[in-house]
Amino acid sequence: MEFNRLGSTGLQVSRICLGTMSFGNSEEWMVEIDKAKPIVKRALDLGVNFFDTANVYSDGRSEEIVGELLKDHRDSVVIASKVRLSTGEGPNKEGLSRYHIIDQARKSLKRLKTDKIDLYQTHRWDYSTPIEETLVAAKLKNRKCPRCGSVMAFHGGTAQRWVCGSCSFTDYGQK
Catalytic residues: 57
Contacts of 76 (CB under 8 A, 6+ apart): 49
Distances from the Cα of 114 to the Cα of 32, 33, 158, angstroms: 20, 18, 25
Torsion of CA 144, 140, 62, 159, to 10 degrees: -150
Radius of gyration of the chain (CA): 16
Give the Cα separation of 20 and 5 in Å (integer).
Answer: 21
Show contacts of 166-169: CB within 8 Å, 24+ apart. 167/131, 167/134, 167/135, 167/138, 168/7, 168/8, 169/135, 169/138, 169/139, 169/142
Q: Is the dihedral of CA 127, 131, 134, 98 positive or negative?
A: negative
Centroid of chain to Cα 138: 13
